[in-house]
A and B are shown apart, each in its own frame.
Chain A
Amino acid sequence: MAYDPSSSDPPLSGRPEGEILSPDRLESLREVLELLPDELRRCFLLRHGRGYDEDEIAVLMKLPIETVKIHLWQARRMLGVGGSGEVS
């Protein structure tokens, strides 16, 4: 039986948005994001698009936490985005 997410409230409503990028910034990064390796891109979008922390991303991506940190650091460096999501 398939999981039906419509039966529950949206679970992301309570997540902190301090490091979530605005839609305009994500739009500006679209072309560059497509050039990133899949793992880096997913980690970056889960961090700065969804607001998950590094531990949660490690669970979702089944990666070690250190690997997630490195992926995020590499993606930010390649995109020119700061740790808190600011575009340099």
Chain B
Amino acid sequence: MKRLWKALFQRRSDRRKNEHPSVEMLAAYHDDRLPHDQDEEIQEHFVDCPECPEVMLDLDRFTSPEAAEAAKLELSDTWVDVAWRRLRSRLTVEARPARPELRWLRSSGTAWCLAALLFPCTLGLWLRVDALAGEKRDLEAPQLNPPVWYVEPLPDVRGETPPPTEVAVPAGARQFLLVLSPAGEPPLRSDREYLLKIQTWQGEDLWSDRGLEKSAEGNFVVALYRRFLPAGDYRFQVIGIADREEEPYAEEFPLRLSYL
């Protein structure tokens, strides 16, 4: 093979066959910066040399637009990294409290103090909610044989105040019934409903509601939960809602409430 190449290219001198162009010269050849005769020499050398064409091809791949684009991408990645680092450092600075007097909030000791304060509050609130939930369940449960009191109205005796009816609610009773028994037949015949008003003994209104109806026996029945009224003296007033032509009806039932 060597003999063949020597025969094919014997017109070239031994100096040109053995001497490779430098990389700088190959780069100049690639960039068209060599005179024509040197271009010819290098091209002739490429035919003869197994290594220099590979160097030239590598040089071309390295300087190709695709390689330049890849290099640009790497450069842009670098710039993105730099931008991210700057952004992170900026966010870290902005995340700090603006006012120095609030820096104590960031300390771990403050966090433990807050946790120590919040824990008993949370525990107490939870116990209270649990107790109320149990009480609600008790109130909603049906109660058999609730205690009943018949309350007489205040007699129309001038200058004399009779003692109120004693209502002592037993310990096990969650609710109790009051049967308000009028002294006589109410004068109204067209009464469809009555108003019940609860007042303190001094005459302060506590509660009132319409819709009270007279039972078949001529009484008014009111159910009270144990905790609705604290122990004390009260006036229960029944007021008839009547037409304008009819004479109004009102009757008062005093009672003294206590819990056993």
Taking Cβ atoms with an 8 Å cutoff, the residues of A that contact B are 1-5, 8, 10-12, 23, 26-27, 30, 33-34, 38, 41-42, 45-46, 49-50, 52, 56, 59-62
Is B46 in contact with A46, judged by CB distance below 8 angstroms? Answer: yes
Is B60 in contact with A59, judged by CB distance below 8 angstroms? Answer: yes
Q: Which residue of A lies closest to B53 (CB)?
A: A60
Is B53 in contact with A56, judged by CB distance below 8 angstroms? Answer: yes
Is A3 in contact with B56, judged by CB distance below 8 angstroms? Answer: no
Q: Is B50's CB within 8 Å of the partner chain A?
A: yes
Cβ 8 A contact of A12, one of B19, B43, B54:
B54
Q: What is the CA–CA distance of A33 and B5 in the complex, to the nearest angstrom?
A: 12
A44 to chain B, nearest CB (A): 9
Is B46 in contact with A3, judged by CB distance below 8 angstroms? Answer: no
CB contacts (< 8 Å) of B4 on chain A: these are 23, 26-27, 30
Given contacts A23-B4, A42-B43, contact A50 B22 (CB under 8 A): no
Q: What is the CA–CA distance of A61 and B40 in the complex, to the nearest angstrom?
A: 9
Cβ 8 A contact of B43, one of A3, A10, A52, A61:
A61
Is A62 in contact with B39, judged by CB distance below 8 angstroms? Answer: yes
Given contacts A27-B4, A56-B57, contact A10 B51 (CB under 8 A): yes
Give the number of residue pairs across the A-B interface with Cβ within 8 Å.
71
Q: What is the CA–CA distance of A62 and B4 in the complex, to the nearest angstrom?
A: 26
Given contacts A27-B7, A59-B60, contact A49 B22 (CB under 8 A): no
Q: A3, A8, A30, A41 — which one has the most chain B CB atoms within 10 A of its CB?
A: A3
In this complex, the interface size class of chain B, counting residues with CB under 8 Å from chain A, is: 20 to 34
Taking Cβ atoms with an 8 Å cutoff, the residues of B that contact A are 1, 4, 7-8, 19-23, 26, 29-30, 32, 39-40, 43-44, 46-47, 49-57, 60
27 A–B contacts from the bound complex (CB under 8 Å):
A1-B22, A2-B21, A3-B22, A3-B26, A3-B52, A5-B51, A5-B52, A8-B51, A10-B50, A10-B51, A11-B50, A11-B54, A27-B4, A38-B40, A41-B47, A42-B43, A42-B44, A42-B47, A45-B8, A46-B46, A46-B53, A50-B50, A50-B53, A59-B57, A60-B43, A61-B46, A62-B39
Is A60 in contact with B8, judged by CB distance below 8 angstroms? Answer: no
Q: B1, B51, B57 — which one has the most chain A CB atoms within 10 A of its CB?
A: B51
Cβ 8 A contact of A59, one of B8, B21, B52, B56:
B56
Is the contact region of chain B dominated by helix, strand, or loop, or is it mixed?
Answer: helix
B209 to chain A, nearest CB (A): 101
Is A3 in contact with B55, judged by CB distance below 8 angstroms? Answer: yes
Is A33 in contact with B8, judged by CB distance below 8 angstroms? Answer: yes
CB contacts (< 8 Å) of A42 on chain B: these are 43-44, 46-47
Cβ 8 A contact of A26, one of B8, B54, B60:
B8
Is B47 in contact with A45, judged by CB distance below 8 angstroms? Answer: yes
Is A2 in contact with B57, judged by CB distance below 8 angstroms? Answer: no
Given contacts A33-B8, A45-B47, A46-B46, contact A3 B21 (CB under 8 A): yes
Is B51 in contact with A49, judged by CB distance below 8 angstroms? Answer: no
Is B20 in contact with A2, judged by CB distance below 8 angstroms? Answer: yes
Given contacts A2-B20, A60-B43, contact A30 B8 (CB under 8 A): yes
B96 to chain A, nearest CB (A): 56
Given contacts A2-B20, A23-B4, contact A60 B56 (CB under 8 A): yes
CB contacts (< 8 Å) of A59 on chain B: these are 56-57, 60
